Each structure stands twice: as C-alpha cells, then as structure tokens.
Chain A
Amino acid sequence: MAFLDNPAIILAHIRQSHVTSDDTGMCEMVLIDQDVDLEKCQLALVPGSSCGSTGSGSFNEAGSNVTDNHTCDLSQSMDITSSWDFGIRRRSNTAQRLERLRKERQNQIKCKNVQWKERTSSQSVEDLGSLFEKRDFKDRPRTTGTKSTLSLRLEQCPQQLNNPFNEYSKFDGKGHIGTTATKKIDVYLSMQMGQDKVHPMTVVTIANARVHDLIGLICWQYTSEGREPKLNENVNAYCLHIAEDDGEVDTDFPPLDSNEPIHKFGFSTLALVEKYSSPGLASRQSLFVRINAAHGFSLIPVDSLKVTMNDILQKALKKRKGSQKGSGPMYRLEKQTEPNVAVDLDSTLESQGTLEFCLVRENSISGEKVEIDPVTNQKASTKFWIRQKPISIDSDHLCACDLVEERSPSHAIFKLTYLSNHDYKPLYFESDAATVNEIVLKVNYILESRASSSRADYFAQKQRKLSRRTSFSFQKDKKTGQ
C-alpha cells in the first residue's frame, strides 16, 4: 500500500499482472523484451520519483548492474521466462470451440436480423391504398412465341443429354466448395492422344465419394467437355492408378479399390486407365495377376489376357528376390484353387479362369536332384550375418533322410545326409511336422528307387560305427528351410 505512489512499483505490478494473466503469451513477449527502454524513459520523466532520479543512470547500463533500489527493479520475476513459443502454442479444445463460436457469432453479426412487428394503426385507408396499388395485368406485354435463355442454351449443348455418366454428376464438388468437404484431383487421361494426354483434367469431387463414384465423375466430366475418343459407357471398364506429377502411371501399385471412399487416399494426382475387360473377368478390378509365394505375394501387371503363363512365371520370378536366371531352382505355377496341379506354361492366362496363382518351387525334390533354396530369415540373418547359398545335391550323392525330432505339430526337424568331397555332411531342416514327414517320405522313396552307391557306402559305414558301439552325437548345424 505504501508504494502505490511509486510509479515504478505500479508499473512493475502492471507488467507482472499482464504477463501472468495473459494466456496468449503476447504480453510476455512484448513487455519483457521490448518495452523496457520505453518504460525507463517514462520513469525518468516522472517528477519526484525516487528511483527515477537516483537509479535511472545505473540500471540503464545493460541491465547487469546491481540496482541500488530493489523496489524499482524492473526485471521480471525469476519464474517468468520468455518462452518464444507463443506462436505455436497448442490450442486447447475449448479454445478451438470458442473460436468456432466466435466465427459463428461474426457470421450472425454480418447477417441482419429483422423481427416481425405489427403494423401501427396510424396508417389510413388512403395510405394503404397507395401502398397496394391495383394493377391491370390484362394488358401486360405478351411474350408468347419468343424463346427463353434456357431454351437457347439447351439447343446449344445437346451433348449433355446423352452423357451416359449423368448419374455421377452429383459427385461433382465444384458447387459445394465452402459447404461440403471436397477434394481436388488432377487426373491424367491415358486414353487421350497427343497434347491432351500430357495435361491433366482437374476434377473436384465431394470427399465422401467412393473411388467408383470418382471414376464415374471423371467419365462424366470428360464426356461433357467433349473430349475424344469417346469413353466406354461402363464405368467398371476403368480404374484409377496413382500417377506421378508428370502423368506417368505408377504400375507398381494396384489401382485404387473401387469401394474405398476417396478421402482415404492422399493422392492429388491420379490416372484414369482402361481395364482390359473380358466377360469372365468382368468383376475383376484390372489385370493384375496375384502370385502367392512362400512369404507374401506379388502382383504382376499383364498387358492382356492373351499372355502365356510362361510370361507370367518369368515376370513373377523377376520380381522375386534371390532367384537367378538360368541356374538356381526351378519354379512352376499352380492355381491357388488347385494345389499340386502345375499350370501348362504354354497356355494363355485367358484359359485359366482365375487371376490368382501360387509360385511353387519345382524339383525341390526330384529324381535327379535335391534343391535347397534358403529362405532369407530376417532374424537369422541379422543375428549371424551368414549368407546361406542355395545348394543343389545330386541324388547320387544323397545318403539318408531321417526325422530327427517332432516336438509338436508345428515344429519338427529332419536331417539330410549327403556325400560331399568324400565326407558325409548332415543338413538339418525345421518345419511343421506334416511338411517334414512328407519330405522325409519323398526323399526316402527316391533313395530307395535309386539305390545309389553313396547311400550304400553310408549305410555300410554307419553299420560299422554302430558295431563299434561309439556314442552317437551330432553337432547342430541347423538350417532353416522346408
């Protein structure tokens, strides 16, 4: 109370109050960092100010000098630091709601409000008579026989009538901007020729349209703009692909799913691509052949249904890592629905009646060879840094194949013994019990049918070992694979 006559204290108090009570942080910024000099000037001008006369000289110096009068120390309190982050201060939900309400209020202010009022009875009959003058409508100018603007315009653009995509015009977002969520997309039109192909058509769609609706809208706009060539009237004949900014279609990705809402996708550039339709595959999205492999699948784009299965196989192998041309394991294709039946590679895709196949390693076990193609196991390879090479074992060098252990239906180990440089080498494989048993059975069939000399030698040696009654032990050299 005693200091209320001290302007410095009052100023400090005001500053403090502003800084601490202002949520936006603006006062903090302004007062603490920029206003100091100004305040000091004012202080100096206040007559009779005790600190103004005694201390103004000293605490103008860089602020580091100790002021002799603590009561007029203008530096901020210790617990207030300028944070500089007021510009990006997170706005709370309440703040956002208040902002919305404020906007609504502003809109209402812009809107003039007129309240119904009863007429005052002061108006006389004559006044009212002049306000509501009788009029003769019988001799107004006749307009019969003349044309209206609408009629003229309808004649000028008859193509609108025959637009087969009219039902999709409702997804056009141009008239909805500001009221409904819309999305602007540049669409490259792969069916157009020359220059037109290079320039995208800008489409504005309402955001809750599905991809199918957007395709229809694109077709509608394409047709109403009179673009050539004419489109297939079936919207299902087209699909939307992701495209680069220069219009190049990104075929690494499948087309956008027709049933998904367009707002799910963030792409602002797309390409309209005609699908290769065939009666049997009409329901398919486009010509992507799905090739399921041991780990995952790949989608192989094909040009038409006339391609041979061999082409598809080659493309699938190209996509798959680790498969080398010429050498390495052989593969075959099987229909997903018909396992263990190899697809005739000379036949066409059209004749298969499906677009989903399985890539199966061929000749993994055959009469001639056993092919071992290590599956890259992420965990194993990072742990051991061991590059496992594909191994091909000639059946003549194969000695034995035995089940080592079967812990559970999902885990079993078998051992393959083969002759390598006059040494018997074991290979251990783990897989689920069913697969292991099947492999063991198959390999043993082959072994029995071939009756190779190495096998005979191996068993002879094994017999000798057993007769010597040495303890049987093996070192674990486990390999993953099936």
Chain B
Amino acid sequence: MNVNQGTVGSDPVILATAGYDHTVRFWQAHSGICTRTVQHQDSQVNSLEVTPDRSMIAAAGYQHIRMYDLNSNNPNPVINYDGVSKNITSVGFHEDGRWMYTGGEDCMARIWDLRCHNISSHFHYMHFPNLDQSGVIHIWDLKTDHNEQLIPEPEVSINSVHIDPDASYMAAVNSSGNCFVWNLAGGMGDEVTQLIPKTKIPAHKRYSLRCKFSPDSTLLATCSADQTCKIWRTSNFSLMTELSIKSNNPGETSRGWMWDCAFSGDSQYIVTASSDNLARLWCVETGEIKREYSGHQKAVVCLAFNDSVLG
C-alpha cells in the first residue's frame, strides 16, 4: 500500500475532490490518504470528472475547464478550455471520450470536441438535459437542434439532473428540495424518447444540490443544504438510508451543505462532499461512515469517483 507508487491514473480506484480552496486532491479511497494535490489557480472548482480512458481529470471553474494529467505528477493543467464568460458548473464526458459537455451560469450547455479541439455548438445531446435558473429542463435533439422543455416546478431553479445507467429514469432536484423522477421510454430508431412523469419526492426541506443514480440503477441519492444525503430505492422511491453530518450537539451550528456524491462501482458505498472541508465514505446499507478524507482547507463541493468493478 505504498502511497507514492504509481500514478493516480494507474490505480483502479480514482477518487478526486475539489472545492473552494483552489486545489484538487486525489485520495486512496480505502485508506483516506491524500496521494496528490494539484493547484487550480484563481478559481474554485465547481465540478470534476475523470475522462473515460482515465488519463485525465477535468476541473470546471470560473470561465475555464482545466484538464490535469492523471498519469504524471505534473501539478499544472495540460489543457485549458477557455472562452466561457461565467462559471462552469458541470462537466462530463461522452463514454467514447470524444465529447465533453459542460453547463454553466451563462445558461449555455456546450459540447466540446476533444479530438480536434474544434467545437460543436450550444446544443445538447438529449441524455444530458440543460438546466436553467427558471426551473426549465431543456431536452435537445442534437440532430435537429429541436428542444423539448420540462417545467416540473415553475420558477424554482433546477440544480442537478441525472439519468440512470440503464436509461430508464431521469431525476432532477431543485432549490425547494423536491426531487422529480421521469420514466424514459422509446427513443430507439427514429422514435422520440418519451418522458413520463413517475414521481415527485419531497426529499429535502432546503436546497437540493445533486441527484445521482447508483451504477446498478437500484438507488438514487440526493444531496442537500440540510446537511444530509438521502438514498432512495428506485423500486418504489422509498427512503432507504439517510446520511447526515448534523452534529449531535444541538448548540452547534450547521456543519454545512452536502454538495456532491458518487457511488462505488458495486453500489455498496457512497462518497459525499460537504462544506465542512471533508469528503466521507459511507456504507449505503447501514449509513455508517467508513472513511474520512481530510485535508481540504475550505468547503469541498465536488468530487469524481471512478471505481472499477471486478468481473
């Protein structure tokens, strides 16, 4: 278990966290040891994602998306994506690694072509819906630039949307703490994908910041400003586990928001990022804290977790 051996990219488990202290930290997920830190100059990090080939990690911040090499110890970014006027709040990759998509406060979703570094336009692949402050989810057909709009709760900002790996559900959470779930149907061939409202969960009393399905599609996690991350069963959308960082001491003020979460490859564990400068690993079944990742000097608001499933 030598920390210094190998690079982050060669490890079958990659855990990275970032936030307001302008650093991206990499962790040995099972031991809690910080193995590498890279600087993210001049900006907080709003979103992190590892490329599908595990060679790089993208950190989205104010006006930039920066790519860091995972297979070296270079503390500086190797590619800088520029030209966005405001905060970039989410970043992700198409699974074959050709496209990177970003969303931001300029109310634009962008698709970046990673191979020729030449850029597509502001439309969006339909499995990655675009959100805006007025509570509208735009679903784009990239062939036609046609978009469909969903307004689950008018004038309440949608903070996160996720589609499960089976592509059977889409979930969205908003600033009033509600979580909306749709069934996805059709979409093969020339057929248009149908979104059928499935359920509305009053998941939290305060802002909900992130929703994420587990890799096996059986669980849905929602993170909130109420200091909890709740895990729901997708079979009936009942609450399974509540992960709370609330203090037992009633006199103590809030330890801060639960910002982000990610499931392990086998959906048995979940990592959360929160404002109390910590990331934590929880057992999904019992809600027990298994590890704490401590080292950030300020709030941790995003994470990237890449676990491999043993065959």
Contact = CB atoms under 8 A, between A and B. Distances in A.
A476 interface: no
A115 interface: yes
A150 B83 contact: no
B216 interface: yes
Interface stretch (A23-31, A154-162, A350-358, A390-398): A154-162
B303 to A, nearest CB: 14
A144 B216 CA distance: 6
A128 B119 CA distance: 13
A384 interface: no
Interface string B265-276: 110110000000
A359 B34 CA distance: 51
A65 B80 CA distance: 65
Contacts of B83: 115-117
Interface string B20-38: 0001011101111111111
Contact of A125 (B23, B30, B143): B143
Interface string B23-66: 10111011111111111000000000000000000000000001
A116 B84 contact: yes
B33 A169 contact: yes
A151 B266 contact: yes
A152 B310 contact: yes
Contacts of A125: 143-144
Given A144-B216, A149-B308, A179-B38, A160 B187 contact: no
Nearest to A107: B76
Contacts of B12: 149
A118 B30 contact: no
A113 interface: yes
B110 A116 contact: yes
A146 B309 contact: yes
Contacts of B117: 112, 114
Given A111-B78, A154-B30, A134 B307 contact: no
Given A137-B167, A143-B216, A172-B34, A111 B76 contact: yes
A349 to B, nearest CB: 39
B299 to A, nearest CB: 15
A147 B307 CA distance: 10
B215 A143 contact: yes
B292 A179 contact: no
A136 B187 CA distance: 9
A319 interface: no
A350 to B, nearest CB: 36
Secondary structure of the B side of the interface?
loop
Contacts of A144: 216, 218
Contacts of B298: none
Contacts of B84: 116
A167 interface: yes
Given A149-B12, A157-B31, A114 B266 contact: no
Interface in A109-154: 110-119, 125, 128-129, 131-132, 134, 136-138, 140, 142-144, 146-154
Contacts of B311: 146
A180 interface: yes
Contacts of A296: none
A175 interface: yes
A113 B265 CA distance: 33
A143 B310 CA distance: 9
Interface residues of A, number: 49
A22 B194 CA distance: 74
A232 to B, nearest CB: 22
A174 B34 contact: yes
Interface in A408-430: none
Nearest to B271: A150
B307 A149 contact: yes
A143 B33 contact: no
B26 A160 contact: no
B97 interface: no
Nearest to B29: A150
A148 B143 contact: no
A113 B79 CA distance: 6
A176 interface: yes
Given A116-B119, A157-B31, A150 B307 contact: yes
A116 to B, nearest CB: 3
B101 to A, nearest CB: 11
A170 B294 contact: yes
Interface in B75-90: 75-84
A192 interface: no
B81 A140 contact: no
Given A112-B80, A138-B167, A160-B291, A148 B34 contact: no
A224 interface: yes
A118 B188 contact: no
B181 to A, nearest CB: 17
Given A116-B119, A149-B12, A132 B266 contact: no
B7 interface: no
Contacts of B168: 138
B78 A119 contact: no
B286 interface: no
Given A148-B310, A175-B25, A179-B39, A111 B80 contact: yes
B33 A112 contact: no
Nearest to B76: A107
A175 B26 contact: yes
B143 A128 contact: yes
B14 to A, nearest CB: 10
A175 B119 contact: no
A123 to B, nearest CB: 8
Contacts of B142: 128, 131-132
Given A152-B310, A176-B37, A180-B37, A169 B266 contact: no
A166 interface: yes
Nearest to B23: A179
A119 B73 contact: no
A176 B307 contact: no
Contacts of A114: 79-82, 112, 117
Nearest to A155: B30
Nearest to B216: A144
Interface in B1-31: 1, 3-4, 12-13, 23, 25-27, 29-31
Nearest to B98: A131
A172 B295 CA distance: 8
A125 B309 CA distance: 38
B182 interface: no
B165 to A, nearest CB: 7
Given A131-B142, A166-B32, A178-B75, 8 more contacts: A125-B144, A138-B166, A146-B266, A149-B12, A150-B264, A151-B268, A174-B33, A175-B25
5 contacts: A132-B143, A138-B167, A149-B13, A153-B13, A176-B34
Query: Which 8 pairs from chain A and chain B are nearest by CB?
Result: A116-B83, A148-B265, A175-B34, A137-B167, A119-B121, A153-B30, A170-B294, A148-B266
